């Protein structure tokens, strides 16, 4: 694995690109559809690396070397044409992912492995948008990718064992701890458990059981979470959480995944969390 292409410079994509360039020391093409998105992504990478520099984890020379291995571009063909591993990290929409994956499949080299960072959409479905389903699998990083060690490697119905092995080794090279999800099930392992818990926290607010700060404090201290569920919702994105719950409800057909009305209301009013500056907390002030 010499070159990695990361498609999407947003919340997850920029972090994945940074990890591939820093830990795996790969050349990384970071692609997005608009220059302003790329500029924002590269800005977040520089900010993240500066924090590592301030803590003494990396040197100024290492920081410059990492940045020198990342090549931002709006040209999809340029990004993927010679990539060994392609990681799709575009918005959690089947239609958007279909468009991107079909275009990538047409220009990527035949032996390139294609992956998706989706947190809920069927890997088998996404693989069907390509002519190489045996070389396609899920590679689900966690937020923020620079710090979170887990990567879920998800096998689709037609994913070959060789492809799973390649992605597992790629994750290890990036300094991650991969786990293999052998059955393509909505939410895989972590989100199947986590999103249900987040939705339950939303119902606690909706029903007036306790205030925001009390709920976050209770879960931090009672379950030893590093942050409360409502803070975590702001980090993940309320729109992303809603999209995952809707997939669960559609695919699993169970009432227990009914999104809390509060979540739907907040998404409709644009209160998505950190990405918009406001959610349960005011991130512009923070």
Question: How does pLDDT run across 187-228, given as a tens digit for each residue?
Answer: 899 999 999 999 999 999 999 999 999 999 999 999 999 999
Q: Which two tokens stand for residue 228?
A: 């409360």
> φ, ψ for residue 169 (rounded to 5)?
-65, -35
Question: Is 252 within the bounds of a domain?
Answer: yes
pLDDT confidence tier of residue 119, bands split at 50, 70 and 90: confident
Question: Is 286 within the bounds of a domain?
Answer: no
Region 138-166 average pLDDT: 96
Question: Is 284 within the bounds of a domain?
Answer: no
Residues 135 and 44 in one domain: yes
What is the radius of gyration, based on Cα positions, of the chain? 19
Question: Is 285 within the bounds of a domain?
Answer: no
Residues 88 and 164 in one domain: yes
Range of the domain at 142: 3-181
Residues 74 and 199 in one domain: no
Residues 152 and 24 in one domain: yes
Residues 25 and 91 in one domain: yes
Pick the last residue of a domain from 146, 181, 216: 181
Residues 58 and 157 in one domain: yes
Question: Is 18 within the bounds of a domain?
Answer: yes
Contact in structure between 100 and 88 (CB atoms under 8 Å)? yes
Question: Which residue has better confidence, 59 or 119?
Answer: 59
Residues 214 and 99 in one domain: no
Q: Can the peptide bond before residue 144 be classed as cis, meaning omega within 30 degrees of 0?
A: yes
Residue 286 has pLDDT above 70, yes or no: no
Strand 3-7 to strand 27-31: parallel, antiparallel, or no bridges (unpaired)? parallel
Q: Looking at the annotation, which residues are catalytic?
A: 140
Question: What is the per-residue pLDDT across 228-263, written as a single tens digit (0 to 9) for each?
Answer: 999 999 998 999 899 889 988 888 877 889 999 999
What was the pLDDT predicted at 110? Answer: 94
Pick the last residue of a domain from 118, 151, 181: 181
Question: Is 281 within the bounds of a domain?
Answer: no
Pick the last residue of a domain from 149, 181, 213: 181
Question: Is 187 within the bounds of a domain?
Answer: no
Residues 141 and 222 in one domain: no
CA distance 141 to 120: 12
For the chain, give the mean pLDDT: 95
**At which residue do the structure tokens 């520089």 appear?**
46
Q: Which two tokens stand for residue 160?
A: 């070959």
Residues 137 and 208 in one domain: no
Q: Which CATH number fits the domain that encloses residue 204? A: 1.10.1040.10
CA distance 58 to 197: 36
What was the pLDDT predicted at 253? Answer: 75
Question: What is the per-residue pLDDT across 67-101, written as a single tens digit (0 to 9) for each?
Answer: 999 999 999 999 999 999 999 999 988 999 999 99
Q: How many folded domains does the chain comprise?
A: 2
Residues 108 and 234 in one domain: no
pLDDT confidence tier of residue 1, bands split at 50, 70 and 90: confident
Closest CA to 81 of 152, 3, 176, 151: 3
Strand 70-73 to strand 136-141: parallel, antiparallel, or no bridges (unpaired)? unpaired
Contact in structure between 154 and 184 (CB atoms under 8 Å)? yes
Residues 222 and 167 in one domain: no
Question: Is 283 within the bounds of a domain?
Answer: no
């Amino acid at each position: 694995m010499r070159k990695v292409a990361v498609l999407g410079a947003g919340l997850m994509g920029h972090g994945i690109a940074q990890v591939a360039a820093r830990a795996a020391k790969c050349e990384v093409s970071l692609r997005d559809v608009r220059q302003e998105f790329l500029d924002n992504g590269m800005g977040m990478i520089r900010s993240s690396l500066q924090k590592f520099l301030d803590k003494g984890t990396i040197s100024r020379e290492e920081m410059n070397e990492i940045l020198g291995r990342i090549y931002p571009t709006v040209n999809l063909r340029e990004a993927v044409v010679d990539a060994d591993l392609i990681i799709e990290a575009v918005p959690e929409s089947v239609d958007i992912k279909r468009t991107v994956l079909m275009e990538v499949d047409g220009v990527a080299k035949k032996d390139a492995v294609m992956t998706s960072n989706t947190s809920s959409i069927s890997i088998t479905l996404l693989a069907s948008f390509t002519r190489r389903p045996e070389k396609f699998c899920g590679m689900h990083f966690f937020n923020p990718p620079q710090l979170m060690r887990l990567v879920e490697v998800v096998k689709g119905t037609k994913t070959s064992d060789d492809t799973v092995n390649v992605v597992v080794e790629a994750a290890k090279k990036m300094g991650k701890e991969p786990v293999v999800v052998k059955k393509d099930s909505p939410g895989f392992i972590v989100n199947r458990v986590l999103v249900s818990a987040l939705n339950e926290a939303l119902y606690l607010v909706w029903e007036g059981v306790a205030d925001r700060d009390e709920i976050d404090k209770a879960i931090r201290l009672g379950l030893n979470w590093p942050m409360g569920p409502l803070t975590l919702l702001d980090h993940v994105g309320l729109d992303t959480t809603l999209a995952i719950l809707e997939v669960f409800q559609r695919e699993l057909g169970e009432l227990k995944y009914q999104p809390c009305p509060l979540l739907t209301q907040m998404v409709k009013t644009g209160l998505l969390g950190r990405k918009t500056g406001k959610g349960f907390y005011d991130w512009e002030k923070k």
